[in-house]
Amino acid sequence: MQTGKRLVSLIGVLALLLSLLVSFAQVEAASGPEVVVLSVKGTINPALSRYVTRGINAAGKRQADLVVIQLDTPGGLDEAMREIIQDIVNAPLPVAVYVAPAGARAASAGTFITIAAHIAAMSPGTEIGAAHPVALGQSGQGDSVLEGKVLNDAVAYITSLAELRSRNIDWAGKAVRESASVHASEAQALGVVDLVVPDLPSLLQAIDGRTVELLDKRQVTLETSSARVTYVNMSLAEDFLFTISNPNVAFILLSLAMLALFFELANPGAIFPGVIGAILLLLSLFSLGTLPINWAGFLLVVLAFAMFALEVFVTSHGILGLGAIVALVLGGMLLISSGAPPSLRVHPGLIAGVAAGTAAYFIFVVQAVYRSRKQPKVTGYEELIGQTAVVRTPLAPRGMVFFRGERWEAEVDQGRVEAGESVEVVGVLGLKLRVVKR
């Protein structure tokens, strides 16, 4: 019995030691080198900027050794781009930008972000450049002085970043002034990026042992060859906000909001369309708030639906409806500022599709309204006109008739009608019927 107790105690001690060893091994593993990877794919906008800020801050709190931003972007908003660059430059740990996978690009704002990184890398089959401010040259006879200021500001910004990272200053200036663009191997040869590698493991292997200087002059030697990789993805909220921070989505949300609110106004008390319309309207306003919106375009979209609604209640012989379609198309085209990059414009095909679908819907509604107006009344006193009643007491000119299972007081317009004869209802005076002999 005593031997059994000792055996149980020994097993317990061994189990405790084993759990401590496992915990120690886990702590050792957790304290080893770590690389945090962020995926930035799509147009640079405030939602992506907030995601990068959160990712870099999270990596700093985890005391990670490196942040890798895997980048594929056609460009985006200047303000969001600068926020991302500030996060990179002021990061408490090294940040690498890796333009990948094959077929990806770091165009426009992406060029600035790549050059700002402590380590810039590209995958074969990728490209970088075309960083000329899109607003320039699109305004026709615009203010040349203002355009010059915008261009010079962009050149000064990108060359300062290139100088900070000891990259090709001349090419950086050409990327802005002349929209210069190069593929991966040429970018490496020109000193625009540091290396070209096929995948993330190759990148971590290639930069292992490299020393990086942070903004506070600290020298950090990277240990990445055997580092564990942690992917920090967008949260559901960030992913949702990024999805709706799209000009095409914003245009669809605004159009659906107007349709739902119109349906609520046309059918007071339906409630559900009004609730959905209000939600969609708020979402569309948030989406537009992240974009360089042109308020003239927004008001044209609202005006279009106002004219569609008036077409239902006002006989304009189609003039209001035609004007609404024109306003909707113009509103979609002007919704985003003309100085925005092409990736931030509403697609013409989408504008045409929404305009056609909306027009078809309102044509259906208008036709239904016109048909209902032409149909005979089926409620109220109007439905009694033309119906037949049977005389119960002689009408001379007043008497009683039997109508729809009830006795009604009636008055004949001319002559006398005997009991049992039929009469036709021609009017209603309060609770008395006006009839004529059939």
**Is a pLDDT exceeding 70 seen at residue 1?**
no
* pLDDT tens per residue across span 332-347: 898 887 766 777 788 8
Same domain, 43 and 114: yes
Q: Are residues 156 and 291 in the same domain?
A: no
261, 155: one domain: no
The pLDDT, as a whole number, for residue 141 is 44
Tens-place pLDDT, residues 38-80: 999 998 989 999 999 999 999 999 899 999 999 999 988 889 9
Residues 180 and 65 in one domain: yes
**Which of these is catalytic: 49, 108, 255, 343?**
108
Residue 353 lies in a domain: yes
Give residue-wise pLDDT tens across range 82-122. Answer: 999 999 999 999 999 999 999 999 999 999 999 999 999 99
Residue numbers of the domain that contains 404: 381-437
Q: Specify whether the backbone of 136 is left (phi greater than 0), alpha (psi in -120 to 50) or beta.
A: beta
The predicted model gives 366-381 an average pLDDT of 60
Predicted pLDDT of residue 374: 59
Mean pLDDT to the nearest integer, 178-197:
95
Phi (first) and psi of residue 192, to 5 degrees: -80, -40
DSSP string of 119-139, one letter each residue: EEEE-TT-EEE--S-TTTTSS
**pLDDT reported for residue 246:** 85
pLDDT classification of 29: cutoffs 50, 70, 90: very low
Q: Which tokens sit at 153?
A: 């500001």
Q: Are residues 362 and 218 in the same domain?
A: no
Estimate to the nearest angstrom the gap between the alpha carbon of 369 and the chain centroid. 34
Q: Cβ atoms within 10 A of the Cβ of 330, count?
A: 18
214 burial type by CB count under 10 A (0-12 exposed, 13-18 middle, 19+ buried): middle
pLDDT the model gives residue 228: 94
Looking at residue 205, what is its pLDDT? 96
Q: Are residues 203 and 252 in the same domain?
A: no
> 211, 235, 238: which is closest to 66 by C-alpha?
211
Q: Is residue 101 reached through a cis peptide bond, with omega within 30 degrees of 0 on the bond before it?
A: yes
Average pLDDT over residues 178-199: 95
Beta bridge partners of 399: 410
Active site residue 108: yes
For the segment 225-235, the average pLDDT, to the nearest whole number, is: 93
- Count of the separate structural domains present in the chain: 4
Query: Would you state the structure tokens that stand for residue 260, as one six-digit string?
Result: 């739902």
Q: What is the DSSP string of 330-359?
A: HHHHHSB-TTS-GGGSPPHHHHHHHHHHHH
- The verdict on 409 and 362 lying in the same domain is no
Burial grade of 249 (CB within 10 A; 0-12, 13-18, 19 or more): middle
* Given 9, 23, 41, 149, the catalytic residue: 149
**Would the pLDDT of 24 be above 60?**
no
User: Do 301 and 407 fall within a single domain?
Assistant: no
CATH number at residue 50: 3.90.226.10
Chosen domain end from 332, 357, 374: 374
DSSP sequence for 382-402: GGGTT-EEEESS-BSSEEEEE
In this prediction, residues 296-304 reach a mean pLDDT of: 89
**Mean pLDDT (whole number) for 372-401:** 76
3-class DSSP state of 8:
helix
Regarding whether 281 and 176 lie in a shared domain, the answer is no
Check whether residue 155 and residue 213 sit in a common domain. Answer: yes
Q: Could you confirm whether 174 is annotated as catalytic?
A: no
Average pLDDT over the chain reads 84
Q: Which two tokens stand for residue 137?
A: 């040259």
Residues 11, 126: Cα–Cα separation, whole Å = 59
d(CA 438, CA 429): 20
What integer is the mean pLDDT of 349-373?
78
Q: How far is CA 427 from the centre of its chain?
A: 59
| 107 plus 64 within the same structural domain | yes
